[in-house]
A and B are shown apart, each in its own frame.
Chain A
Amino acid sequence: MTPEGKALATAEVDANGILLSAGEPLAGLQRRSGGELPGEIAVPALRDLVAKARRFGIKLARLMTASDGEDVIKAWVEVVPTDEPGNGATIKVLTWETSPLPAEDVAEVDRRKADIDRSLAELNAELDAAQAVLTVESTAEDLTDLARSMRTGVGRSWTDFVKIEGDSHQQPLHWRLLDGARLKIAGSDRGWRVRLHPRGGNSGAPQGFELLLIADSPATVTERIVRPARQMPSNAQGLVGRDVAPVLRQPIARIIANAETIRTRLAGPLADEYSQYAADIAAAGQHLLALVDDLADLEIVESDQFNTAPDRIDLADVSRRAAGILAVKASERGITIDAPRDGETMPAIAEFRRVLQILLNLVGNAIRYSPDNSQIWIRLEGEGARARVIVADQGPGISAEQQTKVFTKFERLGRSDAAGSGLGLYISRRLARAMGGDLTVESAPGQGARFTLDVPADLLASAPRTAQDPD
Chain B
Amino acid sequence: MTLTKPGYGDAMIDNAAQSVTAQTVEDALNEDLAHGDNFVMTVTPILRHLVSSNEHSVFGDEIIARVRGMLAHIASQLLDAVVLAEGETERAVHPDTDIHALAAQFADDEQLLSHLHAIAMEWQLTERLSARLSVDPVLSPLMQALIAAPEAGTAGLAMALMASQARFTQSQRRMELPLGELPGDILHSVLQALDASASPERAEHVRAASHSIRSVHDEARSRIGLMARLISGLGAGATAALGISHAGAALFLSALALASGQDRETVVLSTNEGQVARLSLALRASGLRLVAIAEQVAALHPDIAMPDDFDDISPDRAAAMLASSAVLPRR
Contact surface of A with B, Cβ cutoff 8 Å = 1-3, 5-6, 52-53, 55-63, 65, 74, 76, 78, 83, 94-95, 97, 102-103, 105
What is the minimal beta-carbon distance from A93 to any residue of chain B, in angstroms? Answer: 12
Q: Which residues of B contact A3 (CB under 8 A)?
A: 156-157, 160-161, 220-221, 226, 229
Rank and list the top 9 A-B pairs by shortest CB-CB distance, nearest first: A61-B220, A1-B156, A56-B188, A61-B219, A3-B160, A58-B184, A57-B214, A60-B184, A1-B159
Question: How far, in whole Å, are A56 and B316 apart by their CA atoms in the complex?
Answer: 35
Is the contact region of chain A dominated by helix, strand, or loop, or is it mixed? mixed
Question: How far, in whole Å, are A83 and B211 apart by their CA atoms in the complex?
Answer: 10
Contact surface of B with A, Cβ cutoff 8 Å = 153, 155-157, 159-161, 184-185, 187-188, 211, 214-215, 217-221, 225-226, 228-229, 232-233, 235, 258, 261, 316, 319-320
Question: How far, in whole Å, are A195 and B156 apart by their CA atoms in the complex?
Answer: 56
Contact of A76 with B160 at beta-carbon distance under 8 Å, contacts A1-B155, A61-B218 already known: no
Question: How far, in whole Å, are A3 and B184 apart by their CA atoms in the complex?
Answer: 18
Contact of A97 with B232 at beta-carbon distance under 8 Å, contacts A1-B155, A60-B219, A61-B218 already known: yes
User: Do B219 and A62 touch (CB < 8 A)?
Assistant: yes
Q: Which residues of B contact A53 (CB under 8 A)?
A: 184
Q: Which residues of A contact B221 (CB under 8 A)?
A: 3
Residue from the list A2, A58, A61, A95 in contact with B188, Cβ < 8 A: A58
What is the minimal beta-carbon distance from A272 to any residue of chain B, in angstroms? Answer: 75
User: Do A56 and B214 touch (CB < 8 A)?
Assistant: yes
User: Do A59 and B218 touch (CB < 8 A)?
Assistant: yes
User: Do A5 and B188 touch (CB < 8 A)?
Assistant: no
Q: Which residues of B contact A63 (CB under 8 A)?
A: 228-229, 232, 258
Question: How far, in whole Å, are A345 and B321 apart by their CA atoms in the complex?
Answer: 78
Contact of A59 with B155 at beta-carbon distance under 8 Å, contacts A76-B228, A97-B232, A97-B235 already known: no
Question: How far, in whole Å, are A65 and B319 apart by their CA atoms in the complex?
Answer: 15
User: Do A83 and B160 touch (CB < 8 A)?
Assistant: no
User: Do B185 and A59 touch (CB < 8 A)?
Assistant: no
Contact of A74 with B232 at beta-carbon distance under 8 Å, contacts A3-B156, A62-B219, A105-B320 already known: yes
Determine the residue in chain B with the shortest Cβ distance to A105: B320
Determine the residue in chain A with the shortest Cβ distance to B254: A63
Q: Which residues of A contact B215 (CB under 8 A)?
A: 57, 83
Q: Which residues of B contact A57 (CB under 8 A)?
A: 211, 214-215
User: Do B157 and A5 touch (CB < 8 A)?
Assistant: yes
Question: How far, in whole Å, are A97 and B235 apart by their CA atoms in the complex?
Answer: 7
Determine the residue in chain B with the shortest Cβ distance to A74: B232
What is the minimal beta-carbon distance from A463 to any residue of chain B, in angstroms? Answer: 38
Question: How far, in whole Å, are A76 and B220 apart by their CA atoms in the complex?
Answer: 10
User: Do A56 and B184 touch (CB < 8 A)?
Assistant: yes
Determine the residue in chain B with the shortest Cβ distance to A103: B316
Q: Which residues of A contact B161 (CB under 8 A)?
A: 3
Q: Which residues of B contact A5 (CB under 8 A)?
A: 153, 156-157
Question: How far, in whole Å, are A128 and B328 apart by their CA atoms in the complex?
Answer: 40
Question: How far, in whole Å, are A5 and B232 apart by their CA atoms in the complex?
Answer: 14
User: Do B156 and A52 touch (CB < 8 A)?
Assistant: no
Contact of A95 with B184 at beta-carbon distance under 8 Å, contacts A3-B156, A61-B218 already known: no
